[in-house]
Chain A
Amino acid sequence: MPENQPQLISDEILSNETKLSTVLVIDDDNASRSLVRKILEREDYIFAGVGSGEEALEYLEDNEPDLILCDIVMPEMDGIEFCARLHLSPRLEEIPLIMVTGLSTMDSLSRAYEAGADDYIIKPIRQVELISRVEHHIEIYRREQAAKNRIENLFTQNESKTKFLGVASHDLRNPLVSIRGISQYLDSEKFGPLNDSQKELVSTIVQASESMLTLVEDLLDVSMFESGQMRIEPSIQSLEELIDHAVTLHSPNASKKNIRLIKGVLNSDTDAEIDRRLVSRVIDILISNAVKFSQPDTEVRLLLESDETSVTLKVEDQGPGIPEEEFDALFKEFGRTSNLPTAGESSSGIGLFVCKRILQRHGGSIFAENRSEGGARFNVTFNRSIENG
């Protein structure tokens, strides 16, 4: 994200800072109220005074002061009850509340704090103390409100980003499918032979559309996860069968770099309750990453292990391994490591993020480690049954 992005929030903070603050003073003693009024108005606060808790609640129906000063000892509703009532309203509960108390009522302070008061001032009120506490709490309140607005704003922005991502990816997908399909036809020379440079051009289109389609599908998955729309449709599937399928799919690409895909199965029962499409994506991403980051003439091993409750797939390569200090970035959105694909393949940095989300939805796990003999190993574990997860 560029740092100089416009921030709507800052305008709001400015306008808040220049606005005069209103302090609601609740005290049944007229003399105290007018003393506080004098002190506050000298410092440019707007004074609003009421003589009882009931009147205060009435005032608060239509007004939101920046701070409330409330006497503890009052007839009818006392300060503590008022405080408790105030905290029943989500709109008002965050307004800072300072209790005003005489020394004789110090023991009721703990009850006031329990009821949600933020601070207290002991009578007789001294001007310096009152102003510094009022200033301090209004300042904190302002900051909290600004932070809250900011979070709400970011939340909305994030939602619209996700929505945009979904719509854009969805609309990009269809044309890409056609571009890929049509260029594959050209490449197959069913419409007549291509000369060498034509063939090179066409195969570039095929490759580019394939990697773009993968990216678009990853983005679409991300947006579905982020917006909570991703539903999984689990059924019992043989992971070995999915691996076989994936090996067939990736072998042509791997053989271009003379990388061998080797399957190893320790226990023939590899059935688990999974979403076939999503788990195929995980396997695709892991294999294509392994091939992408490995040098030619190496091996990628796909090992299936299982026990009563789970099936684990280990994808091992003989590539450069994961730089120790970059493990954190691995499963993050657009988190790329400093490793580069060995044959100029593209890498969006979104694949492992998608894997992690898919595993989370399955109640499974994924983690990466470096093998002592060199290369990386990705361990993916599925529970045999989703309910056990």
Chain B
Amino acid sequence: MDREITARIADDEAHLRTFMKLLLMDLGVKKVYLMQNGMDAIDAYKEYRPDLVLLDINMNVMNGLDALRHIKEINPETKVVMMTAVSTRDSVEQCSRNGASFYILKTQTPDEIRARLKDAIDSIGLISQKP
């Protein structure tokens, strides 16, 4: 049976939170909550256990990679999407080594970003797809 998917976005740039939220809602995610840093993302994760977490790699207070490690410790099954403006081979490797499921380059076209987010949502496999 389908249930509503919830997502959390942690990014210190407000416009990107809004943009990602739009994309997720367009893909059928019913509830999207926004956080400004990795620390808040972990606190919120503990409380609400969202299905999907989007983490910016470069954030103040706690960066995305540290937040990823913490969240994966709490629940290794969580699907985490890492986001970055600057991609290096090193950062991709670090993300996948720490258990991230997907990797988004913010400079990709909206269609490409949307496609990656769709992959992430499909991997949860619970959503009622839009026609």
Contact = CB atoms under 8 A, between A and B. Distances in A.
Interface of A: 170, 173-175, 177-182, 184-185, 190, 217, 233
Given A170-B85, A184-B110, A217-B107, A177 B19 contact: yes
Interface stretch (B10-18, B31-39, B69-77, B120-128): B10-18
B119 interface: no
Interface in B71-104: 85-86, 89
7 contacts: A170-B85, A173-B107, A174-B85, A177-B19, A178-B13, A182-B15, A185-B26
B61 interface: no
A311 B89 CA distance: 28
Given A185-B22, A190-B26, 8 more contacts: A170-B86, A174-B13, A174-B106, A177-B107, A181-B22, A181-B23, A181-B113, A233-B89
Contacts, number: 37
A178 B15 contact: yes
Contacts of A170: 85-86
Contacts of A178: 13, 15-16, 18-19
A157 B18 CA distance: 38
Instruction: Give the interface size bracket for B toward A.
Output: 10 to 19
A178 B13 CA distance: 10
Contacts of A180: 110
A173 B105 CA distance: 12
A297 B89 CA distance: 44
Given A174-B16, A175-B15, A190-B26, A181 B110 contact: yes
A266 to B, nearest CB: 30
A21 B24 CA distance: 74
A34 B35 CA distance: 83
Interface string B1-31: 0000000000001011011001100100000
A233 B88 CA distance: 11
Contacts of B19: 177-178, 181-182
Contacts of A190: 26
A71 to B, nearest CB: 63
A177 B110 CA distance: 8
Contacts of B86: 170
Contacts of A233: 89
Nearest to A188: B26
Nearest to A216: B107
Nearest to A220: B107
A276 to B, nearest CB: 13
A54 B26 CA distance: 84
A252 to B, nearest CB: 12
B38 to A, nearest CB: 18
A197 to B, nearest CB: 23
Contacts of A184: 110
A173 B22 CA distance: 19
B15 A179 contact: yes
Which of A170, A180, A185, A233 has the most chain B CB atoms closer than 10 A to its own CB? A185
Nearest to B22: A185
Contact of B22 (A174, A177, A182, A217): A182
B18 A177 contact: no
A303 to B, nearest CB: 26
A190 B110 CA distance: 15
Contact of A175 (B13, B23, B113): B13
A143 B73 CA distance: 68
